[in-house]
């Protein structure tokens, strides 16, 4: 289930099978991450 979309990514509703807990997972479009600034942004997003 897609619960949101942006220019760099989409957010999916996911369920962890072993615990049955629900999470939001951001999926970044790899082809749009081209330079160091983009990589810094992705690293920052990963820690949010």
Residues 32 and 8 sit within 8 Å (Cβ to Cβ)? yes
Residue range 7-45, pLDDT digits in tens = 888 999 999 999 999 999 999 888 777 787 777 877 887
Within 8 A by CB and 6+ apart from 18, the residues are: none
Q: Please give the residue range of the domain that contains residue 30.
A: 2-46
Cα separation of 48 and 25, whole Å? 11
Cα 8 to Cα 2, 15, 18, 48: the distances in Å are 14, 23, 29, 16
Establish whether 30 is an annotated binding residue: yes
pTM for this predicted structure: 0.68
Place of tokens 């997972």: 25
pLDDT, residue 30, reads 80
Task: Specify the number of domains making up the chain.
Answer: 1
CATH at residue 38 = 3.30.200.20
pLDDT at 47 over 80: no
């Amino acid at each position: 289930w897609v619960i949101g979309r942006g220019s760099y990514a989409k957010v999916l509703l996911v369920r962890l099978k072993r615990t049955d807990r629900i999470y939001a997972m951001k999926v970044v479009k790899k082809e749009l991450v081209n330079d160091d600034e983009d990589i810094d942004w992705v690293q920052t997003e990963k820690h949010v």
